[in-house]
Structure 1
Amino acid sequence: MNQPEVATSMPTAIVSAGSFRDRDGRVYHFQNRIFRGLSTGALNSFRQLQDKPFYQKLLEYREIVGTREVPSDENPLPDEIVSQWAGFLEHDVVPVISYPYEWTFSMLKAAASLQLHLVERAVSNGFALKDATPYNIQFVDRKPIFIDIPSFEPLSEGEPWSGYRQFCEMFLFPLLLQSYKQCNFQPFMRAAIDGIDVQTAASLFGFRDRFRKGVMSHVWLQSKLDRRFGGSSENVRSNLKSAGFNRELILANVRKLQKLVKKLEWEAAGSEWGDYNEFHNYSDDDHENKEDFIRDAIRAEKPETVWDIGCNTGQFSRIAASECKQVVSTDIDHVAVERLYLDESTPANILPLVQNVADPSPNWGWRNRERSDLQTRSKPDLVLCLALVHHVVITANIPLADFIDWLAGLTNKLVIEYVSRNDDKVKILLRNKEDKYQDYNRASLETNLNRHFSISHQQKVNKGDRTLYMCIKK
Structure 2
Amino acid sequence: MGDDMKHAIDAGSFRDRDGRIYIVGNRIVRGLSEAALADYRKLAATKFFERFSKESKLVATRELPAGEVPLPAHEQSLWAGFLEHDRVPVISYAYEWTFGMLRDAAVLTLDLLEAAIQADMTLKDATPYNVQFVAGKPVFIDIPSFETLQPGSTWAGYRQFCEMFLFPLLLQAYKGVDIQPMMRSRIDGVGVQTAARLFGARDRFRKGVFAHVWLQSKLDSRYGATRKDVKSELKSAGFGKELILANVRKTRKLVAGLSWGGEGSEWGGYEEFHNYSESDHALKEQFVEESVRDSGAQTVWDIGANTGQFSRIAARHADQVLAMDIDHFAVERMYRKNKEAGLENILPLVQNVCDPSPNWGWRNRERSDLATRAKPDLVLCLALIHHVVITANVPLDEFVAWLASVTDQLVIEFVSRDDDKVKTLLRNKEDKYDDYHRDRLESALAEHYDIRKTRALESGNRFIYWCVASG
TM-score under structure 1 length normalisation: 0.97
Kept in 2: contact 1:454–1:473 (CA 8 A): yes
Match of 2:370 in 1: 374
Match of 1:3 in 2: none
Pairs within 5 Å for 1:172-251: 172-251=166-245
CA distance in 1, matches of 2:37, 2:268: 47
CA distance in 1, matches of 2:192, 2:138: 26
Q: Does 1:426 align with 2:394?
A: no
Query: 1:267, CA displacement in angstroms?
Result: 1.3
Kept in 1: contact 2:94–2:180 (CA 8 A): yes
Q: Does 1:445 align with 2:441?
A: yes
| Count of matched residue pairs | 466
> 337, 344, 350: which one pairs with 2:331?
337
> 90, 94, 97: which one pairs with 2:84?
90
Query: 1:63, CA displacement in angstroms?
Result: 1.0
CA distance in 2, matches of 1:95, 1:426: 37
What is the aligned-residue RMSD (CA, Å)? 1.2
Q: Does 1:285 align with 2:250?
A: no
Kept in 2: contact 1:340–1:346 (CA 8 A): no
CA distance in 1, matches of 2:136, 2:309: 17
Match of 1:297 in 2: 291
3-state SS of paired residue (2:126): coil
When residues 197 and 265 of structure 1 are mapped into structure 2, their CA distance, relative to the original with a 3 A threshold, is same
When residues 94 and 50 of structure 1 are mapped into structure 2, their CA distance, relative to the original with a 3 A threshold, is same
Kept in 1: contact 2:152–2:231 (CA 8 A): no
Kept in 1: contact 2:5–2:71 (CA 8 A): no
Match of 1:457 in 2: 453
Query: 1:353, CA displacement in angstroms?
Result: 0.4
CA displacement 1:402-448 (0-9 Å, x = unmatched): 11111111011100011100010000000011111111111111111
Q: Does 1:24 align with 2:9?
A: no
Runs of 4+ in 1 over 6 A off after TM superposition: none
CA distance in 1, matches of 2:232, 2:217: 20
Task: Percent identity, please.
Answer: 62
Match of 1:6 in 2: none
3-state SS of paired residue (2:341): coil
> 382, 393, 401: which one pairs with 1:386?
382
Match of 2:310 in 1: 316
CA distance in 2, matches of 1:57, 1:395: 50
Query: 1:230, CA displacement in angstroms?
Result: 1.0
CA distance in 2, matches of 1:326, 1:335: 22
> 383, 393, 397: which one pairs with 1:397?
393
3-state SS of paired residue (1:329): strand
3-state SS of paired residue (1:342): helix
Match of 1:415 in 2: 411
Residue identity opposite 2:232 in structure 1: S
CA displacement 1:7-33 (0-9 Å, x = unmatched): xx9882111111001101011111111
CA distance in 2, matches of 1:434, 1:235: 65
Kept in 2: contact 1:305–1:327 (CA 8 A): yes
> 339, 357, 361: which one pairs with 2:357?
361
Kept in 1: contact 2:33–2:81 (CA 8 A): yes
CA distance in 2, matches of 1:223, 1:393: 44
Match of 1:167 in 2: 161
Query: 1:238, CA displacement in angstroms?
Result: 2.3
Residue identity opposite 1:454 in structure 2: D
Q: Does 1:352 align with 2:357?
A: no
Kept in 1: contact 2:265–2:328 (CA 8 A): no
Kept in 2: contact 1:102–1:186 (CA 8 A): yes
CA distance in 1, matches of 2:171, 2:407: 37
3-state SS of paired residue (1:166): helix
Query: 1:100, CA displacement in angstroms?
Result: 0.5
Query: 1:248, CA displacement in angstroms?
Result: 0.4
Query: 1:240, CA displacement in angstroms?
Result: 1.5
CA distance in 2, matches of 1:462, 1:318: 24
CA distance in 2, matches of 1:91, 1:146: 11
3-state SS of paired residue (1:307): strand
CA distance in 1, matches of 2:100, 2:363: 31
Kept in 2: contact 1:199–1:223 (CA 8 A): yes
Residue identity opposite 1:469 in structure 2: Y
3-state SS of paired residue (2:447): helix
CA distance in 2, matches of 1:141, 1:325: 11
Q: Does 1:52 align with 2:53?
A: no
Query: 1:384, CA displacement in angstroms?
Result: 0.3
3-state SS of paired residue (1:18): coil
CA displacement 1:320-348 (0-9 Å, x = unmatched): 10111110000000010000000123621
Structure 2 residues without counterparts, runs of 5 or longer? none
CA distance in 1, matches of 2:342, 2:140: 22
CA distance in 1, matches of 2:190, 2:273: 37
CA distance in 2, matches of 1:10, 1:389: 47
Kept in 2: contact 1:129–1:151 (CA 8 A): yes
TM-score under structure 2 length normalisation: 0.97
CA distance in 1, matches of 2:345, 2:292: 15
Match of 2:464 in 1: 468
CA displacement 1:207-237 (0-9 Å, x = unmatched): 0000111111000000000000112212222
CA distance in 1, matches of 2:16, 2:109: 19
CA displacement 1:250-277 (0-9 Å, x = unmatched): 0000000011111111112363321111
3-state SS of paired residue (1:19): coil
Residue identity opposite 2:103 in structure 1: K
CA distance in 2, matches of 1:127, 1:10: 38
Match of 1:12 in 2: 6
CA distance in 1, matches of 2:171, 2:22: 36
Between 452-461 and 73-82, the greater mean CA deviation after superposition: 73-82
CA distance in 2, matches of 1:270, 1:462: 32
CA distance in 2, matches of 1:380, 1:56: 35
CA distance in 1, matches of 2:61, 2:393: 47
Structure 1 residues without counterparts, runs of 5 or longer? 1-8
CA displacement 1:108-129 (0-9 Å, x = unmatched): 1000100100100000111010
